[in-house]
Amino acid sequence: MLTVFGIFIALFYIRLIQGQYLGNALQASNKHFFRLKQIIEDQSKSLNIKEPKLFIYQDPYPNAFTIGYKNPYSIVLSSSLVEGLGEEELEAVIAHELGHVRFSHSKVLSIVSPAGRNMPFFTWIFGFWQRAAEMTSDRVSLMTTENPRSLITALIKIGIGTKFLEQIDEEELLNQSREIQQTFLNRWGELLNNHPYLIR
């Protein structure tokens, strides 16, 4: 009985958060953020899913996430992400978030981690699944956009900031990836994250 009540509270909380974005953020529509609206509309059709609502909210940190446990889901982009990414990179990010909808990742997370934060207890238990879900959504992005370069540059900008891309050397990234593999402590550090290492 307590479990059912806990799930009900978690889903109720998620619905309240979706309402907050409707009240405090700008929703992409045919009147504003028209290009973003077009992107999510076209990609939703391509993936054969009902189009989620797309919101832009003020935040200095580039970020994107999906919330909801049933249609319509909500995809939320930070203002710094929209400002700092090019159109093809935004296409890659939106396609990634639609991957979470397509494979019901946000539905599961609505119950497991309704606050949407990296909570150690849930990360230890569900971290493998969450990291796999992120990789699956990256694959959805690649399949939808057929543009691996834009996904890579979008992930770099989200990971380290939108203004540093021109200072990144791709060979050095590969060297850093190899260094991670050299010790188990480097590799195991990923177990504390609900996302895969950026370098991966």
Mean pLDDT computed over 66-90? 96
* pLDDT value of position 1: 55
* pLDDT value of position 121: 65
Mean pLDDT computed over 135-164? 93
Rg (alpha carbons) of the chain, rounded to whole number: 17
pLDDT of 83-135, one tens digit each? 999 999 999 999 999 999 999 999 988 877 765 555 666 667 788 888 999 99
* pLDDT value of position 39: 98
pLDDT of 32-65, one tens digit each? 899 999 999 999 999 999 999 999 999 999 999 9
* pLDDT value of position 180: 83
Other Cβ atoms closer than 10 A to 16: 10
Of the candidates 136, 150, 57, the residue with the CA atom closest to the CA atom of residue 96: 136
Chain mean pLDDT for the chain: 88
Percent of the chain with pLDDT over 70: 94
CA angle in degrees (0–180, nearest 5) for 99-162-191: 55
CA–CA distance from 32 to each of 29, 37, 73, 136 (Å)? 5, 8, 19, 30
CA angle in degrees (0–180, nearest 5) for 148-154-158: 145
